[in-house]
A and B are shown apart, each in its own frame.
Chain A
Amino acid sequence: MIRVESLVKTYPSRKGKPPIKAVDDISFSVAAGELLGLLGPNGAGIVGIIGPNGAGKTTTVKMLCGLIRPNSGQIVIDGKDLTQRRIAALSKVSAVLEGNRNIYWRLTARENLEFFAALKGLNPAHVRGDIDHYLELFNLTEKANVEARKLSRGMQQKLAIAVALISQSRVVLLDEPTLGLDVQASYEIRQLLKEIVHDQGRTVILTTHDMNVVQDTCQRVIIVNEGRIVADDSVHDLLDLFRVRVYKITIQGVLTPCQRASLLDMEQVIIKEESPERTSISVRLEESQVLYGVIGILGSNNSLIESIDQEQNNFERVFLEIVEGGTQGA
Protein backbone atom coordinates (compact mmCIF):
# COMPACT_ATOMS: atom_id res chain seq x y z
CA MET A 1 0.00 0.00 0.00
CA ILE A 2 2.74 2.43 1.02
CA ARG A 3 6.38 1.89 0.16
CA VAL A 4 9.07 4.27 1.34
CA GLU A 5 12.57 3.75 0.01
CA SER A 6 15.77 5.44 1.09
CA LEU A 7 14.06 8.66 2.03
CA VAL A 8 16.41 11.53 2.85
CA LYS A 9 15.48 15.03 3.90
CA THR A 10 17.91 17.76 4.81
CA TYR A 11 16.45 21.18 5.56
CA PRO A 12 18.58 23.89 3.98
CA SER A 13 20.43 26.33 6.19
CA ARG A 14 18.37 29.34 7.26
CA LYS A 15 19.33 32.53 9.02
CA GLY A 16 22.91 31.39 9.43
CA LYS A 17 21.97 28.08 11.01
CA PRO A 18 23.56 24.93 9.55
CA PRO A 19 21.48 22.51 7.44
CA ILE A 20 19.50 19.96 9.44
CA LYS A 21 19.35 16.33 8.39
CA ALA A 22 15.85 15.46 9.57
CA VAL A 23 15.43 12.11 7.83
CA ASP A 24 18.40 9.94 6.98
CA ASP A 25 17.79 7.00 4.66
CA ILE A 26 14.47 5.74 5.96
CA SER A 27 12.80 2.74 4.30
CA PHE A 28 9.67 0.90 5.32
CA SER A 29 6.49 -0.38 3.84
CA VAL A 30 2.93 -0.87 4.95
CA ALA A 31 1.55 -3.65 2.81
CA ALA A 32 -1.97 -4.09 1.51
CA GLY A 33 -1.87 -7.57 3.02
CA GLU A 34 -1.10 -5.99 6.33
CA LEU A 35 -4.02 -3.70 5.86
CA LEU A 36 -6.43 -6.52 5.15
CA GLY A 37 -4.89 -9.48 6.89
CA LEU A 38 -3.75 -8.24 10.26
CA LEU A 39 -6.94 -6.67 11.37
CA GLY A 40 -8.03 -7.54 14.82
CA PRO A 41 -9.68 -6.16 17.89
CA ASN A 42 -6.36 -5.33 19.47
CA GLY A 43 -5.62 -2.44 17.13
CA ALA A 44 -3.99 -4.40 14.34
CA GLY A 45 -3.54 -2.24 11.28
CA ILE A 46 -2.36 0.75 13.26
CA VAL A 47 1.28 1.54 12.69
CA GLY A 48 2.97 3.94 15.07
CA ILE A 49 5.95 6.08 14.21
CA ILE A 50 7.56 7.24 17.42
CA GLY A 51 10.75 8.93 18.50
CA PRO A 52 12.10 11.78 20.57
CA ASN A 53 11.53 15.41 19.60
CA GLY A 54 13.30 16.21 16.35
CA ALA A 55 13.65 12.54 15.41
CA GLY A 56 12.06 13.08 11.99
CA LYS A 57 8.54 11.71 12.59
CA THR A 58 6.55 14.68 11.40
CA THR A 59 8.90 15.29 8.49
CA THR A 60 8.36 11.68 7.39
CA VAL A 61 4.57 11.97 7.64
CA LYS A 62 4.54 15.29 5.79
CA MET A 63 6.65 13.76 3.02
CA LEU A 64 4.07 10.94 2.81
CA CYS A 65 1.45 13.67 2.36
CA GLY A 66 3.47 15.32 -0.40
CA LEU A 67 3.87 18.51 1.64
CA ILE A 68 7.63 18.36 2.07
CA ARG A 69 9.92 17.60 -0.83
CA PRO A 70 12.54 14.93 0.00
CA ASN A 71 16.14 15.34 -1.19
CA SER A 72 16.15 11.76 -2.42
CA GLY A 73 14.28 8.52 -2.10
CA GLN A 74 10.93 7.33 -3.29
CA ILE A 75 7.40 7.19 -1.89
CA VAL A 76 4.94 4.90 -3.64
CA ILE A 77 1.31 4.87 -2.55
CA ASP A 78 -0.92 2.16 -3.98
CA GLY A 79 1.51 1.70 -6.87
CA LYS A 80 1.65 5.42 -7.69
CA ASP A 81 4.87 7.34 -7.30
CA LEU A 82 4.10 10.41 -5.19
CA THR A 83 6.50 12.63 -7.10
CA GLN A 84 5.30 11.67 -10.56
CA ARG A 85 1.58 11.02 -9.91
CA ARG A 86 0.94 13.21 -6.92
CA ILE A 87 -2.83 13.57 -7.16
CA ALA A 88 -3.48 9.88 -7.93
CA ALA A 89 -1.23 8.88 -5.04
CA LEU A 90 -2.76 11.35 -2.59
CA SER A 91 -6.29 10.21 -3.43
CA LYS A 92 -5.55 7.12 -1.31
CA VAL A 93 -4.39 9.06 1.70
CA SER A 94 -5.92 11.47 4.17
CA ALA A 95 -4.26 13.12 7.11
CA VAL A 96 -4.71 15.07 10.30
CA LEU A 97 -1.48 16.95 10.73
CA GLU A 98 -1.83 19.46 13.48
CA GLY A 99 -4.75 18.13 15.37
CA ASN A 100 -7.64 20.47 15.77
CA ARG A 101 -6.11 23.05 13.42
CA ASN A 102 -7.14 21.06 10.34
CA ILE A 103 -10.74 22.23 10.34
CA TYR A 104 -12.53 25.51 9.68
CA TRP A 105 -13.41 26.97 13.05
CA ARG A 106 -16.20 29.19 11.76
CA LEU A 107 -18.04 26.28 10.11
CA THR A 108 -20.12 23.77 12.03
CA ALA A 109 -19.12 20.13 12.38
CA ARG A 110 -21.52 19.14 9.58
CA GLU A 111 -20.44 21.99 7.31
CA ASN A 112 -16.80 20.99 7.78
CA LEU A 113 -17.56 17.41 6.77
CA GLU A 114 -19.52 18.56 3.71
CA PHE A 115 -16.80 20.96 2.59
CA PHE A 116 -13.96 18.48 2.94
CA ALA A 117 -15.99 15.80 1.14
CA ALA A 118 -16.14 18.11 -1.89
CA LEU A 119 -12.45 18.84 -1.53
CA LYS A 120 -11.82 15.12 -1.81
CA GLY A 121 -13.94 14.90 -4.97
CA LEU A 122 -17.15 13.61 -3.37
CA ASN A 123 -20.62 15.03 -3.79
CA PRO A 124 -21.70 16.17 -0.31
CA ALA A 125 -25.28 15.26 -1.18
CA HIS A 126 -24.23 11.68 -1.93
CA VAL A 127 -22.27 11.24 1.30
CA ARG A 128 -24.89 12.67 3.62
CA GLY A 129 -25.41 9.20 5.07
CA ASP A 130 -21.66 8.86 5.70
CA ILE A 131 -21.59 12.27 7.35
CA ASP A 132 -24.39 11.24 9.70
CA HIS A 133 -22.57 7.97 10.37
CA TYR A 134 -19.32 9.70 11.36
CA LEU A 135 -21.11 12.28 13.45
CA GLU A 136 -22.73 9.44 15.32
CA LEU A 137 -19.58 7.30 15.51
CA PHE A 138 -17.61 10.21 16.95
CA ASN A 139 -20.43 11.17 19.30
CA LEU A 140 -20.87 14.52 17.59
CA THR A 141 -24.47 14.24 16.41
CA GLU A 142 -25.72 16.65 19.05
CA LYS A 143 -22.97 19.09 18.11
CA ALA A 144 -23.45 18.74 14.35
CA ASN A 145 -24.68 22.30 13.98
CA VAL A 146 -22.26 23.88 16.43
CA GLU A 147 -19.34 25.91 15.09
CA ALA A 148 -16.06 24.05 15.47
CA ARG A 149 -14.54 26.90 17.50
CA LYS A 150 -17.17 26.32 20.18
CA LEU A 151 -16.39 22.60 20.57
CA SER A 152 -14.03 21.25 23.22
CA ARG A 153 -10.50 20.39 22.13
CA GLY A 154 -11.28 16.69 22.24
CA MET A 155 -14.35 17.18 20.05
CA GLN A 156 -12.37 19.31 17.62
CA GLN A 157 -9.79 16.55 17.40
CA LYS A 158 -12.53 13.97 16.78
CA LEU A 159 -14.02 16.19 14.08
CA ALA A 160 -10.61 16.55 12.40
CA ILE A 161 -10.28 12.76 12.31
CA ALA A 162 -13.85 12.37 11.01
CA VAL A 163 -13.00 14.87 8.25
CA ALA A 164 -10.00 12.73 7.31
CA LEU A 165 -12.19 9.63 7.20
CA ILE A 166 -14.96 11.10 5.06
CA SER A 167 -12.75 10.80 1.98
CA GLN A 168 -12.89 6.97 2.13
CA SER A 169 -9.09 6.86 1.76
CA ARG A 170 -7.48 3.56 2.62
CA VAL A 171 -4.67 5.09 4.65
CA VAL A 172 -5.13 7.68 7.38
CA LEU A 173 -2.07 9.55 8.65
CA LEU A 174 -2.36 11.10 12.08
CA ASP A 175 0.29 13.35 13.55
CA GLU A 176 0.06 13.30 17.35
CA PRO A 177 -3.68 12.50 17.49
CA THR A 178 -3.88 12.68 21.29
CA LEU A 179 -1.57 15.62 21.92
CA GLY A 180 -2.99 18.04 24.46
CA LEU A 181 -6.07 15.95 25.21
CA ASP A 182 -7.23 15.03 28.68
CA VAL A 183 -7.27 11.39 29.77
CA GLN A 184 -10.91 10.83 28.83
CA ALA A 185 -10.64 12.41 25.36
CA SER A 186 -7.38 10.55 24.68
CA TYR A 187 -9.04 7.27 25.63
CA GLU A 188 -12.03 7.98 23.36
CA ILE A 189 -9.77 8.77 20.41
CA ARG A 190 -7.83 5.55 20.95
CA GLN A 191 -11.02 3.51 21.06
CA LEU A 192 -12.25 5.19 17.88
CA LEU A 193 -9.02 4.48 16.05
CA LYS A 194 -9.33 0.81 16.93
CA GLU A 195 -12.92 0.80 15.71
CA ILE A 196 -11.99 2.44 12.43
CA VAL A 197 -9.35 -0.17 11.75
CA HIS A 198 -11.42 -3.08 12.93
CA ASP A 199 -14.72 -2.14 11.28
CA GLN A 200 -13.59 -0.32 8.14
CA GLY A 201 -10.35 -2.11 7.32
CA ARG A 202 -8.30 1.05 7.05
CA THR A 203 -4.65 1.42 7.87
CA VAL A 204 -3.80 4.14 10.35
CA ILE A 205 -0.26 5.45 10.55
CA LEU A 206 0.25 7.69 13.52
CA THR A 207 3.05 9.55 15.19
CA THR A 208 2.98 10.02 18.91
CA HIS A 209 4.96 10.71 22.03
CA ASP A 210 2.37 8.92 24.11
CA MET A 211 3.54 5.40 24.83
CA ASN A 212 0.09 4.50 26.14
CA VAL A 213 -1.25 5.15 22.64
CA VAL A 214 1.40 2.87 21.17
CA GLN A 215 0.86 0.07 23.64
CA ASP A 216 -2.91 0.36 23.52
CA THR A 217 -3.57 0.82 19.82
CA CYS A 218 -0.59 -0.02 17.62
CA GLN A 219 0.11 -3.42 16.22
CA ARG A 220 3.38 -2.36 14.67
CA VAL A 221 5.78 0.38 15.65
CA ILE A 222 8.59 2.13 13.83
CA ILE A 223 10.97 3.90 16.18
CA VAL A 224 13.03 6.69 14.67
CA ASN A 225 15.90 8.50 16.29
CA GLU A 226 18.07 11.20 14.75
CA GLY A 227 16.38 10.64 11.41
CA ARG A 228 17.03 6.89 11.25
CA ILE A 229 14.86 3.87 11.94
CA VAL A 230 16.22 2.13 15.03
CA ALA A 231 13.45 -0.43 15.36
CA ASP A 232 10.60 -1.69 13.19
CA ASP A 233 8.65 -4.52 14.75
CA SER A 234 5.37 -5.46 16.35
CA VAL A 235 4.68 -3.91 19.73
CA HIS A 236 4.20 -7.39 21.15
CA ASP A 237 7.60 -8.62 19.91
CA LEU A 238 9.38 -5.53 21.18
CA LEU A 239 7.82 -5.93 24.58
CA ASP A 240 8.92 -9.56 24.57
CA LEU A 241 12.42 -8.73 23.41
CA PHE A 242 12.98 -6.30 26.23
CA ARG A 243 11.11 -8.27 28.82
CA VAL A 244 13.01 -8.51 32.08
CA ARG A 245 11.59 -9.21 35.46
CA VAL A 246 11.62 -6.12 37.61
CA TYR A 247 10.64 -6.37 41.27
CA LYS A 248 9.72 -3.57 43.61
CA ILE A 249 10.69 -4.24 47.21
CA THR A 250 9.21 -1.98 49.87
CA ILE A 251 10.63 -1.91 53.39
CA GLN A 252 9.54 -0.07 56.48
CA GLY A 253 11.76 2.82 57.56
CA VAL A 254 15.00 3.98 55.98
CA LEU A 255 18.18 2.24 54.82
CA THR A 256 21.35 2.41 56.89
CA PRO A 257 24.32 4.09 55.20
CA CYS A 258 25.96 0.69 54.92
CA GLN A 259 22.86 -0.88 53.29
CA ARG A 260 22.58 2.05 50.93
CA ALA A 261 26.22 1.81 49.82
CA SER A 262 25.96 -1.94 49.26
CA LEU A 263 22.75 -1.64 47.24
CA LEU A 264 24.10 1.18 45.11
CA ASP A 265 27.08 -1.00 44.26
CA MET A 266 24.69 -3.36 42.48
CA GLU A 267 23.97 -2.29 38.87
CA GLN A 268 20.53 -3.89 38.87
CA VAL A 269 19.25 -1.94 41.85
CA ILE A 270 17.65 1.51 41.94
CA ILE A 271 16.49 3.16 45.16
CA LYS A 272 13.23 4.71 43.97
CA GLU A 273 11.52 6.35 46.94
CA GLU A 274 12.77 7.04 50.39
CA SER A 275 10.85 8.49 53.32
CA PRO A 276 11.07 8.02 57.10
CA GLU A 277 8.10 5.62 56.85
CA ARG A 278 9.15 3.42 53.95
CA THR A 279 11.71 2.89 51.19
CA SER A 280 11.17 1.37 47.74
CA ILE A 281 13.86 -0.44 45.82
CA SER A 282 13.59 -1.53 42.20
CA VAL A 283 15.52 -4.68 41.26
CA ARG A 284 16.03 -5.87 37.68
CA LEU A 285 16.19 -9.60 37.96
CA GLU A 286 18.46 -11.03 35.31
CA GLU A 287 19.54 -13.86 37.64
CA SER A 288 17.96 -15.02 40.86
CA GLN A 289 21.20 -14.46 42.84
CA VAL A 290 20.60 -10.71 42.62
CA LEU A 291 17.35 -10.95 44.57
CA TYR A 292 18.98 -13.10 47.24
CA GLY A 293 21.79 -10.56 47.44
CA VAL A 294 19.37 -7.67 47.94
CA ILE A 295 17.37 -9.56 50.56
CA GLY A 296 20.63 -10.42 52.32
CA ILE A 297 21.61 -6.75 52.50
CA LEU A 298 18.19 -5.76 53.79
CA GLY A 299 18.27 -8.61 56.32
CA SER A 300 21.68 -7.51 57.67
CA ASN A 301 19.93 -4.75 59.61
CA ASN A 302 16.68 -6.60 60.15
CA SER A 303 14.82 -4.21 57.84
CA LEU A 304 11.16 -5.23 57.74
CA ILE A 305 10.10 -6.12 54.20
CA GLU A 306 6.55 -4.84 53.63
CA SER A 307 6.01 -6.19 50.11
CA ILE A 308 7.69 -7.64 47.02
CA ASP A 309 5.78 -6.92 43.76
CA GLN A 310 6.61 -7.72 40.14
CA GLU A 311 6.50 -4.54 38.02
CA GLN A 312 4.69 -4.53 34.65
CA ASN A 313 6.79 -4.30 31.51
CA ASN A 314 5.70 -1.24 29.53
CA PHE A 315 6.44 0.26 26.17
CA GLU A 316 7.89 3.44 27.61
CA ARG A 317 10.78 1.43 29.05
CA VAL A 318 11.21 -0.45 25.75
CA PHE A 319 11.30 2.87 23.90
CA LEU A 320 13.90 4.32 26.24
CA GLU A 321 16.02 1.18 26.03
CA ILE A 322 15.98 1.34 22.24
CA VAL A 323 16.51 5.07 21.83
CA GLU A 324 19.04 5.55 24.60
CA GLY A 325 20.73 2.23 23.97
CA GLY A 326 20.82 2.76 20.18
CA THR A 327 19.63 -0.79 19.56
CA GLN A 328 19.51 -1.56 15.87
CA GLY A 329 16.74 -3.32 13.93
CA ALA A 330 14.98 -5.17 16.68
Chain B
Amino acid sequence: MPKKLLLIQAFFKKEFIIYRRYLLNSLGGMITLYVVFLLLLGGFQGLRTLTGVEGDTVEGLVVGYVLWFFMLSTYQDVSYALRNEAKEGTLEQLYMSVHGIGWVMGAKVVAAFFINLMLVAVLLMAALVTTGVTVNVDLFSLFPLVVGTLLGSVGIGFAIGGITLVLKRIDSYTQMVQFLLIALVAAPAGRVMWMRFLPCSYGSNLIAQVMVGGQHITQLGLGNVTAMLFIGIGHLGLGYGVYKLCERKAMVQGTLGHY
Protein backbone atom coordinates (compact mmCIF):
# COMPACT_ATOMS: atom_id res chain seq x y z
CA MET B 1 0.00 0.00 0.00
CA PRO B 2 1.40 3.47 -0.83
CA LYS B 3 2.85 5.28 2.20
CA LYS B 4 0.42 8.18 1.95
CA LEU B 5 -2.54 5.79 2.07
CA LEU B 6 -0.98 4.11 5.09
CA LEU B 7 -0.77 7.50 6.72
CA ILE B 8 -4.46 8.20 6.05
CA GLN B 9 -5.30 4.75 7.36
CA ALA B 10 -3.24 5.39 10.52
CA PHE B 11 -5.04 8.67 11.19
CA PHE B 12 -8.42 7.08 10.48
CA LYS B 13 -7.66 4.25 12.87
CA LYS B 14 -6.45 6.66 15.56
CA GLU B 15 -9.49 8.92 15.29
CA PHE B 16 -11.86 5.97 15.19
CA ILE B 17 -10.25 4.32 18.22
CA ILE B 18 -10.53 7.52 20.26
CA TYR B 19 -14.11 8.07 19.10
CA ARG B 20 -15.07 4.53 20.08
CA ARG B 21 -13.06 4.47 23.32
CA TYR B 22 -14.68 7.68 24.50
CA LEU B 23 -18.07 6.76 23.10
CA LEU B 24 -20.08 8.38 25.86
CA ASN B 25 -18.33 11.68 25.26
CA SER B 26 -18.71 11.29 21.49
CA LEU B 27 -22.42 10.51 21.78
CA GLY B 28 -22.81 13.43 24.16
CA GLY B 29 -21.44 15.71 21.45
CA MET B 30 -23.88 14.30 18.92
CA ILE B 31 -26.83 14.64 21.29
CA THR B 32 -25.87 18.25 22.03
CA LEU B 33 -25.78 18.97 18.30
CA TYR B 34 -29.19 17.39 17.86
CA VAL B 35 -30.64 19.40 20.74
CA VAL B 36 -29.23 22.57 19.22
CA PHE B 37 -30.93 21.60 15.99
CA LEU B 38 -34.24 21.15 17.80
CA LEU B 39 -33.87 24.56 19.41
CA LEU B 40 -33.14 26.11 16.06
CA LEU B 41 -36.09 24.35 14.51
CA GLY B 42 -38.45 25.45 17.23
CA GLY B 43 -37.39 28.97 17.92
CA PHE B 44 -35.14 30.47 15.34
CA GLN B 45 -37.09 30.41 12.12
CA GLY B 46 -34.89 33.08 10.65
CA LEU B 47 -32.18 30.47 10.21
CA ARG B 48 -34.28 28.99 7.46
CA THR B 49 -32.65 31.39 5.10
CA LEU B 50 -29.29 29.71 5.68
CA THR B 51 -29.13 28.15 2.26
CA GLY B 52 -30.10 31.15 0.27
CA VAL B 53 -32.68 29.13 -1.59
CA GLU B 54 -35.92 30.94 -2.35
CA GLY B 55 -38.80 29.96 -0.13
CA ASP B 56 -37.05 29.55 3.23
CA THR B 57 -38.04 25.95 3.72
CA VAL B 58 -37.52 23.51 6.61
CA GLU B 59 -35.48 21.49 4.13
CA GLY B 60 -33.24 24.52 3.82
CA LEU B 61 -32.80 24.65 7.57
CA VAL B 62 -31.91 20.95 7.73
CA VAL B 63 -29.40 21.20 4.91
CA GLY B 64 -27.90 24.43 6.23
CA TYR B 65 -27.49 23.04 9.73
CA VAL B 66 -25.94 19.76 8.62
CA LEU B 67 -23.63 21.55 6.22
CA TRP B 68 -22.57 23.98 8.95
CA PHE B 69 -21.77 21.03 11.21
CA PHE B 70 -19.68 19.41 8.46
CA MET B 71 -17.77 22.65 7.83
CA LEU B 72 -17.26 23.28 11.54
CA SER B 73 -15.95 19.75 12.14
CA THR B 74 -13.56 20.04 9.21
CA TYR B 75 -12.33 23.45 10.39
CA GLN B 76 -11.78 22.07 13.90
CA ASP B 77 -9.98 19.01 12.57
CA VAL B 78 -7.27 21.33 11.30
CA SER B 79 -7.27 24.33 13.61
CA TYR B 80 -8.03 22.67 16.94
CA ALA B 81 -5.89 19.69 16.00
CA LEU B 82 -2.83 21.90 15.54
CA ARG B 83 -3.53 23.56 18.88
CA ASN B 84 -4.15 20.27 20.66
CA GLU B 85 -1.08 18.57 19.18
CA ALA B 86 1.03 21.51 20.39
CA LYS B 87 -0.65 21.32 23.79
CA GLU B 88 -0.09 17.57 24.11
CA GLY B 89 3.51 17.71 22.88
CA THR B 90 2.98 15.62 19.75
CA LEU B 91 3.10 18.41 17.15
CA GLU B 92 6.88 18.23 17.00
CA GLN B 93 6.65 14.51 16.24
CA LEU B 94 4.27 15.26 13.35
CA TYR B 95 6.77 17.80 12.06
CA MET B 96 9.52 15.19 12.09
CA SER B 97 7.51 12.79 9.97
CA VAL B 98 9.12 11.63 6.75
CA HIS B 99 5.94 12.70 4.96
CA GLY B 100 6.27 16.41 5.76
CA ILE B 101 3.71 18.37 7.77
CA GLY B 102 1.61 19.27 4.69
CA TRP B 103 0.95 15.63 3.85
CA VAL B 104 0.49 14.73 7.50
CA MET B 105 -2.21 17.34 7.97
CA GLY B 106 -3.71 16.42 4.59
CA ALA B 107 -3.94 12.77 5.67
CA LYS B 108 -5.51 13.84 8.94
CA VAL B 109 -8.14 15.91 7.11
CA VAL B 110 -8.98 13.08 4.72
CA ALA B 111 -9.29 10.57 7.57
CA ALA B 112 -11.42 12.99 9.57
CA PHE B 113 -13.60 13.59 6.48
CA PHE B 114 -14.76 9.98 6.51
CA ILE B 115 -15.39 10.00 10.26
CA ASN B 116 -17.34 13.25 9.94
CA LEU B 117 -19.25 11.86 6.98
CA MET B 118 -20.62 9.13 9.21
CA LEU B 119 -21.61 11.65 11.88
CA VAL B 120 -23.20 13.93 9.29
CA ALA B 121 -25.21 11.00 7.93
CA VAL B 122 -26.52 10.24 11.43
CA LEU B 123 -27.32 13.89 12.13
CA LEU B 124 -29.04 14.28 8.77
CA MET B 125 -31.13 11.18 9.35
CA ALA B 126 -32.15 12.42 12.80
CA ALA B 127 -33.02 15.86 11.46
CA LEU B 128 -35.08 14.41 8.61
CA VAL B 129 -36.96 12.02 10.88
CA THR B 130 -37.67 14.84 13.34
CA THR B 131 -38.93 17.29 10.76
CA GLY B 132 -40.59 14.76 8.50
CA VAL B 133 -39.18 16.40 5.41
CA THR B 134 -37.16 14.77 2.65
CA VAL B 135 -34.11 16.05 0.78
CA ASN B 136 -32.40 14.90 -2.38
CA VAL B 137 -29.30 12.88 -1.41
CA ASP B 138 -27.70 12.46 -4.81
CA LEU B 139 -24.23 11.26 -3.81
CA PHE B 140 -22.78 11.57 -7.31
CA SER B 141 -23.75 15.24 -7.41
CA LEU B 142 -23.01 15.99 -3.78
CA PHE B 143 -19.53 14.49 -3.45
CA PRO B 144 -17.61 17.05 -5.57
CA LEU B 145 -19.71 19.88 -4.19
CA VAL B 146 -19.09 18.90 -0.57
CA VAL B 147 -15.37 18.42 -1.20
CA GLY B 148 -15.13 21.81 -2.93
CA THR B 149 -17.04 23.48 -0.09
CA LEU B 150 -14.95 21.89 2.65
CA LEU B 151 -11.71 23.05 0.99
CA GLY B 152 -12.67 26.51 2.20
CA SER B 153 -13.10 25.39 5.81
CA VAL B 154 -9.79 23.51 5.65
CA GLY B 155 -8.19 26.75 4.45
CA ILE B 156 -9.73 28.68 7.35
CA GLY B 157 -8.57 25.92 9.70
CA PHE B 158 -4.98 26.21 8.48
CA ALA B 159 -4.98 30.00 8.76
CA ILE B 160 -6.42 30.05 12.28
CA GLY B 161 -4.25 27.09 13.34
CA GLY B 162 -1.17 28.93 12.09
CA ILE B 163 -2.11 32.11 13.93
CA THR B 164 -2.62 30.04 17.09
CA LEU B 165 0.92 28.61 16.72
CA VAL B 166 2.32 32.13 16.90
CA LEU B 167 -0.02 33.95 19.28
CA LYS B 168 -1.10 30.98 21.50
CA ARG B 169 -4.11 31.00 23.81
CA ILE B 170 -6.52 32.90 21.60
CA ASP B 171 -9.38 30.43 22.03
CA SER B 172 -11.94 33.10 22.79
CA TYR B 173 -11.28 34.61 19.37
CA THR B 174 -10.99 31.38 17.41
CA GLN B 175 -14.34 30.21 18.79
CA MET B 176 -15.94 33.07 16.90
CA VAL B 177 -15.11 31.23 13.69
CA GLN B 178 -18.06 28.90 14.27
CA PHE B 179 -20.37 31.89 13.97
CA LEU B 180 -18.46 33.11 10.94
CA LEU B 181 -19.14 29.72 9.35
CA ILE B 182 -22.89 30.20 9.91
CA ALA B 183 -22.67 33.49 8.08
CA LEU B 184 -20.72 31.86 5.25
CA VAL B 185 -23.31 29.11 4.86
CA ALA B 186 -26.11 31.66 4.97
CA ALA B 187 -24.51 34.07 2.51
CA PRO B 188 -26.81 34.38 -0.54
CA ALA B 189 -24.06 33.50 -3.01
CA GLY B 190 -26.66 32.51 -5.60
CA ARG B 191 -27.96 36.05 -5.84
CA VAL B 192 -24.96 38.19 -4.89
CA MET B 193 -22.04 37.60 -7.21
CA TRP B 194 -19.18 38.77 -4.91
CA MET B 195 -20.29 36.42 -2.15
CA ARG B 196 -19.32 33.50 -4.35
CA PHE B 197 -15.72 34.36 -3.57
CA LEU B 198 -16.23 33.91 0.17
CA PRO B 199 -14.99 30.60 1.62
CA CYS B 200 -17.63 27.85 1.46
CA SER B 201 -20.49 30.15 0.40
CA TYR B 202 -20.69 29.25 -3.28
CA GLY B 203 -20.47 25.53 -2.54
CA SER B 204 -23.16 25.80 0.14
CA ASN B 205 -25.45 27.43 -2.36
CA LEU B 206 -24.86 24.73 -4.97
CA ILE B 207 -25.35 21.96 -2.40
CA ALA B 208 -28.67 23.50 -1.39
CA GLN B 209 -29.72 23.56 -5.04
CA VAL B 210 -29.09 19.81 -5.21
CA MET B 211 -30.50 18.77 -1.84
CA VAL B 212 -33.40 21.19 -1.55
CA GLY B 213 -33.96 22.16 -5.15
CA GLY B 214 -33.63 18.58 -6.36
CA GLN B 215 -31.19 19.44 -9.13
CA HIS B 216 -28.52 17.15 -10.59
CA ILE B 217 -24.92 18.33 -10.85
CA THR B 218 -25.24 18.54 -14.63
CA GLN B 219 -28.06 21.06 -14.20
CA LEU B 220 -25.88 23.37 -12.11
CA GLY B 221 -23.65 24.18 -15.04
CA LEU B 222 -20.07 22.98 -15.53
CA GLY B 223 -18.80 26.56 -15.25
CA ASN B 224 -20.43 27.06 -11.85
CA VAL B 225 -19.10 23.79 -10.44
CA THR B 226 -15.60 24.38 -11.82
CA ALA B 227 -15.57 27.95 -10.50
CA MET B 228 -16.67 26.73 -7.07
CA LEU B 229 -13.88 24.13 -7.03
CA PHE B 230 -11.25 26.69 -8.04
CA ILE B 231 -12.48 29.13 -5.40
CA GLY B 232 -12.22 26.31 -2.84
CA ILE B 233 -8.69 25.45 -3.96
CA GLY B 234 -7.83 29.16 -3.80
CA HIS B 235 -9.02 29.43 -0.21
CA LEU B 236 -7.16 26.27 0.73
CA GLY B 237 -3.97 27.67 -0.84
CA LEU B 238 -4.44 31.01 0.87
CA GLY B 239 -5.07 29.40 4.27
CA TYR B 240 -2.09 27.09 3.86
CA GLY B 241 0.05 30.07 2.83
CA VAL B 242 -0.93 31.92 6.02
CA TYR B 243 -0.15 28.76 7.97
CA LYS B 244 3.33 28.41 6.44
CA LEU B 245 4.10 32.07 7.21
CA CYS B 246 3.03 31.55 10.82
CA GLU B 247 4.96 28.29 11.02
CA ARG B 248 8.08 30.10 9.83
CA LYS B 249 7.60 32.76 12.50
CA ALA B 250 7.05 30.10 15.18
CA MET B 251 10.25 28.34 14.09
CA VAL B 252 12.18 31.61 14.33
CA GLN B 253 10.70 32.32 17.77
CA GLY B 254 11.30 28.72 18.83
CA THR B 255 7.68 28.30 19.90
CA LEU B 256 6.46 25.73 17.40
CA GLY B 257 5.56 23.00 19.87
CA HIS B 258 4.65 25.28 22.77
CA TYR B 259 1.19 26.18 23.90
Contacts and interface: CB of A to CB of B under 8 A. Distances in A.
Interface of A: 9, 11-12, 14, 22, 59, 62, 65-69, 86-87, 90-91, 93-95, 97-98, 101-107, 111, 114-116, 118-121, 123-124, 147, 163
B251 A107 contact: no
Given A11-B254, A67-B251, A68-B256, A106 B22 contact: yes
Interface string B2-17: 0100110110011001
Given A66-B95, A97-B257, A102-B90, A118 B18 contact: no
Given A66-B96, A104-B88, 14 more contacts: A11-B254, A12-B252, A62-B92, A65-B96, A67-B251, A68-B256, A69-B251, A87-B100, A94-B96, A98-B257, A101-B89, A102-B93, A115-B10, A119-B94
9 contacts: A65-B95, A67-B257, A87-B100, A93-B96, A102-B89, A103-B90, A104-B88, A121-B3, A124-B10
Interface of B: 1, 3, 6-7, 9-10, 13-14, 17-18, 21-22, 88-90, 92-100, 104, 248, 251-254, 256-257
Nearest to B87: A101
Contacts of B248: 69
A9 B95 CA distance: 20
Contact of B254 (A68, A91, A103, A115): A68
B122 to A, nearest CB: 22
Contacts of A68: 251, 254, 256
B22 A69 contact: no
Contacts of A114: 10, 13
Contacts of A107: 14, 17-18
Contact of B88 (A9, A62, A101): A101
A95 B88 contact: no
Dominant secondary structure at the B interface: helix
A106 B18 contact: yes
B28 to A, nearest CB: 16
A327 B257 CA distance: 34
B95 A14 contact: no
A106 B21 CA distance: 8
Contact of A98 (B17, B89, B104): B89
A123 B10 CA distance: 9
A91 B17 contact: no
A97 B18 CA distance: 24
A97 B6 contact: no
A123 B1 contact: yes
A67 to B, nearest CB: 5
Nearest to A96: B93
Contacts of B251: 67-69
A87 B6 CA distance: 18
Contacts of A118: 6-7, 9-10
A119 B253 contact: no
Contacts of B94: 119
B160 to A, nearest CB: 21
Nearest to A14: B253
